[in-house]
Amino acid sequence: MVLESDDRPWGSWHVLDEAPGFKVKRIVVTPHQRLSYQTHEHRAEHWFVVSGKATCVIDGETVLLGPGESCDIEIGQAHRICNAEDETLVIIEVQRGAYTGEDDIVRLEDDYDRAGS
């Protein structure tokens, strides 16, 4: 099985494992970048910070996480990961749900003109 990865304007992601009902990704966010503010129709997510500091926005509330800390995002909750620091942020993301495809993203806001996609 070939596992996916992709470079994005904010950093990169790499699938570590996947099977029906789940996907595990390593997400790398470069300093002073952030992912889109988005929702998912089919999956929930669990974020675990490996290194760096994460500023997480979940339904408009800001949560700060450091190494060893984590948070959960339920299906349909608006969310984004931000790296406001000078150090690279590494997160392990566990997706759970009936569908974990990359097209299950509704971008509400995006720094890279991808909103709505």
pLDDT tens for each residue of 57-107: 999 999 999 999 999 999 999 999 999 999 999 999 999 999 999 999 999
The whole-model pTM stands at 0.93
DSSP string, the chain: -PPPEEEETTEEEEEEEEETTEEEEEEEE-TTEEPPEEE-SSEEEEEEEEES-EEEEETTEEEEE-TT-EEEE-TT--EEEEE-SSS-EEEEEEEEES---TT--EEEE-TTS-TT-
Q: At residue 117, does pLDDT exceed 60? A: no
How many Å apart are CA 61 and CA 59, to the nearest integer?
6
Q: Write down the mean pLDDT value for the chain.
A: 95
Whether CATH 2.60.120.10 fits 5-99? yes
